[in-house]
Amino acid sequence: MVATFADNFYYPGFRILEFLEQRKVPELKVRFSREQIAARVAELGSQITRDFAGEPLVLVGVLKGAAIFLSDLARQIALDSTFDFISVSSYGNQKQNSGEVKLLKDVDQSMEGKNVILVEDILDTGLTMAYLKEMILAHHPRAFKIAALLDKKCRRRQPIHADYVGFEIPDEFVVGYGMDYAERYRNLPDICVVE
Ligand code: IMP
Ligand code: MG
């Protein structure tokens, strides 16, 4: 079942806040419902469990957008797993990517000899991932894979390929399930398109 704007408790709350602050109210349309996301994340978790059968994993989440995806995905992986997090800035508060990637937080532990899955919310131009991939490969991991909840293939500027993709989307801006617009909407349970 696809949740609609009207039957969702959270979205009117956001709109009231915007109204009170006299801000332009963006239209949010549900693109992937929480049920659709949960079903797809479970499939990805099973696939990863099969691919790495019996081996330990390190899930490296890209803060902050991938936090929710990582926490759901991790619970669908039936393998000995640890977490690490990395933080980069590439967007500021804009919808446009400046093309500049700045490392704000590195991984806590060496990735040498480990099975690493870099977990990202959305693969857009690929600039962030190209930077992070190179950085992690320099650690000489045993295996390196990328899991992206969303993939905007048509926007790619770097030849980056994700091994595990939740959904492919066209060139549209989405929020929710960890993803933000100017840091807001991360806590929406569905993935919504901003119009
Ligand atoms: P890239 O370097 O262009 O691939 O940028 C990837 C990052 O940009 C993602 O990790 C997101 O944080 C952000 N991003 C790209 N598209 C969207 C979007 O539609 N909504 C929210 N964040 C986005
Ligand atoms: Mg991000």
Q: Given a cut of 80, is residue 76 above it in pLDDT?
A: yes
Averaged pLDDT for residues 140-153: 98
At 14 the pLDDT is: 67
Q: Given a cut of 80, is residue 158 above it in pLDDT?
A: yes
Ligand 1 pocket by Cβ (under 6 Å):
62, 65, 90-91, 97, 120-129, 173-175, 179-180
What ligand is nearest to the CA atom of residue 174? 1
Question: For residues 86 and 31, what is the distance between their CA atoms, to the nearest angstrom?
Answer: 27
Question: For residues 132 and 149, what is the distance between their CA atoms, to the nearest angstrom?
Answer: 17
166 φ, ψ (degrees, to nearest 5): -70, -65
E-strand spans in the chain? 28-32, 57-63, 81-89, 102-105, 115-123, 143-151, 164-168, 174-175, 191-194
At 4 the pLDDT is: 46
Question: For residues 118 and 146, what is the distance between their CA atoms, to the nearest angstrom?
Answer: 5
Model confidence pLDDT, tens digit, residues 44-56: 999 999 999 999 9
Q: Given a cut of 90, is residue 5 above it in pLDDT?
A: no
124 is annotated as an active-site residue? yes
pTM exceeds 0.75 for this model:
yes
- Best substitution site from 63, 103, 121, 188 to test ligand 1's pocket, by max atoms within 8 Å of Cβ? 121
Residue type, 155: R
Among 72, 84, 121, 124, the one annotated catalytic: 124
Q: Given a cut of 50, is residue 2 above it in pLDDT?
A: no
Averaged pLDDT for residues 47-71: 98
